[in-house]
Amino acid sequence: MAIYKYRARTNDGRLTNGAVEAVTESDAAELLNEKGLIVLALSETSQKQGKSWNINIGKVKHKDLVIFSRQLSVMISATVPIVQSLRILAQQTVNPIFIEKIIEMADDVEGGMRFSSALSKHGNTFSNFYIAMVKSGETSGKLDEILQYLADQMEKDYDLISRIKSAMIYPVFIISSMVVVGFLMMTFVVPNMTKMLEETGAELPLVTRILIGTSDFMSSYWYYIIFGVAGLIVLFRFWLKSGVGKLTWDALKIQIPIFGTLFKKVYIVRFTRSLSTLIRGGVPITSALTITAEVVDNKAYEKLILDTVDEVEGGNSLATLFVKSKLMPKMLSQMMVIGEKTGKLDNVLEKLSDFYSREIDNLVDGLTSLIEPLILIVMGVGVGGMVAAIMLPMFKVAQSIS
C-alpha cells in the first residue's frame, strides 16, 4: 500500500489537492476518476506503515473463502453496504487470521478504496482469478452475482480435490505402513532370525544371502538411511521450487502411467472451469487466459495457454494451438472452435468442465479398484519372499539331519 498525493480539477473547474491510499498508481487514478476528479498530477509520497508490518502466521482455508463469498453475496444482494457487510462477516468468522484480513479490507473500502483493490493487498489469500472476477463484478454492477458464482465454482474445485484425496488416503496409508513395518523388520527382527541360519554353517540359497546382506546393512546404518531419506525429501522440495525443477516435474507428472491421465484431466477441468467463469464475468479473453494459466498450476499447460494469448492477440482462433497440442484432447479443441463460432464459448467450456469432472470421478473409482489388489499382491510377494528366504534353508537343514 502507498499514499499518493494528487492535484486535480473538479467537474465545476475548481482545483483541488489531496492524498489517496491505493495499491498502485493506476488504482489511485481510477479511484479519483470515480469521485469525479480530473487528475492533473499524481505522485507517490510514502509507503503506509502500521498494519503492513504485521505478519500473519497461518492460512485461510478454502472452505472459509467459499463461506465468505456466499455470505457477502447474500448481503450485497440485500442492499447492505459493503463496508457494513464486511464488518458483520468479521464478527461471524471463526478463523482469527481471516478476521484480521476482513477488518483491514473493511477499513480500506471505508477509506475510499475499491473492494477489488482491497482484496489485492491479500494476494496470499485471494488469487488473481478471484480478484479479477470481483473487479469485473464491480464494473458491471453485478458483484453479488459474481460472488455467488465464485462460491459455486470454488465449491466444485474443493469437491474435486477432496474426492481425489479421499480416494488416495487408503493406498498411501497402506504403502506407508508397509515401508515402515518392512524397515523395522529388516533392521531389528530379521537379524535375530537369520543369525541361527548362519551358525548352522550350511550353504545358504541366494535369496537368503541377499536378505541377510540387506538386513545387516540396514541394521548397521539405519540412522544414515533415515537421515539420507529426509535429506532427499528436503532437496526434492527445494528442487521443486526452482524454475527448472517445477517445469521438469510438471512435464513428468503427466507422463506417469495411469496417474498421468488423471493429472491431465484435473488440469483440463481447472482450465475449462476457470476460463468459463472469467469469460462469463466479463473479463477480456486475453486477460482471462493469462489468469487461467496461473490457476492451472502446471508449467507445461501454462506455456501452452500463454502462447495462445499471443495467437489471440494476433487475430487467430483460441483453439489454434490446442488442436496441435497433445496436452489437450481433440474433443476439447473442436468444441472450443464451435463455441467461438456460436458466441457461446463460456457455455461450451462449462459443459466440458462438467464432462471431464465426471471422467475424473470414473477414473478415481477405477484407480481405487485397481490399487487395492495391486497392494495385496505386493504385500503377498514381499512377505512370501521374506518367509521363503528364512524357511527354505531351515527346511534343507532339517532334511540333512534326517
Non-local CB neighbours of 71 within 8 Å, separated by 6+ positions: 89, 92
3 state SS of 6: strand
Least-confidence region, from 25-29, 141-145, 307-311, 393-397: 393-397
Reported CATH class of domain 2-53: alpha beta
**Mean per-residue pLDDT, 386-397:** 73
Q: Between residues 343 and 156, which one has the greater pLDDT?
A: 343
Summarize the confidence of residues 184-211 as an average pLDDT.
74
Q: Give me the sign of the Cα torsion angle 37, 41, 44, 48.
A: negative
Burial class of residue 317 in the structure, from the number of CB atoms within 10 Å of its CB (0-12 exposed, 13-18 middle, 19+ buried): middle
Sheet of 38-47, strands arranged across: 15-22, 2-9, 38-47
State the pLDDT confidence band at 201, using cuts at 50, 70 and 90. Answer: low
Radius of gyration of the chain (CA): 30
What CATH class has 62-155? mainly alpha
> How long, in residues, is the chain?
402
Domains 62-155 and 174-402 share a fold: yes
- Most confident of the ranges 2-6, 94-98, 347-351: 347-351
Cβ contact 300:251 at 8 Å: yes
pLDDT tens, residue by residue, 364-384? 878 777 777 887 888 888 778
Spatial separation of the C-alpha atoms in residues 64 and 204, rounded to whole Å: 62
pTM over 0.85: no
Q: What is the pLDDT of residue 202?
A: 64
21 strand-pairing partners: 3
Please check the confidence at residue 393 and state whether its pLDDT lies above 90: no
pLDDT at 290: 87
Residue matched to cell numbers 515401508:
179
pLDDT at 235: 92
Percentage with pLDDT > 90 across the chain: 6
Alpha-carbon distance of 350 to 353, in angstroms, equals 5
Contact (Cβ atoms closer than 8 angstroms) between residue 305 and residue 320: no
Please, which pLDDT band fits residue 198 given cuts at 50, 70 and 90? low
- Report the range of poorest mean pLDDT among 49-53, 134-138, 230-234: 49-53
Question: What's the confidence (pLDDT) of residue 52?
Answer: 37
190 near 215, Cβ under 8 Å? Answer: yes
Are the beta carbons of 115 and 23 closer than 8 angstroms?
A: no
Burial of 116 (0-12, 13-18, 19+ CB in 10 A): buried
**pLDDT grade, residue 263 (50/70/90)?**
confident
pLDDT score recorded for residue 51: 39
* Extents of the domains making up the chain: 2-53, 62-155, 174-402
Lowest mean pLDDT of 12-26, 49-63, 134-148, 239-253, name the range.
49-63
- Average pLDDT across the chain, whole number: 81
DSSP calls for 241-285 = HSHHHHHHHHHHHTTSTTHHHHHHHHHHHHHHHHHHHHHHTT--H
Torsion of CA 81, 87, 89, 94, to 10 degrees: 180
* CATH assignment, 174-402: 1.20.81.30
In the predicted model, what is the mean pLDDT of residues 158-185? Answer: 80
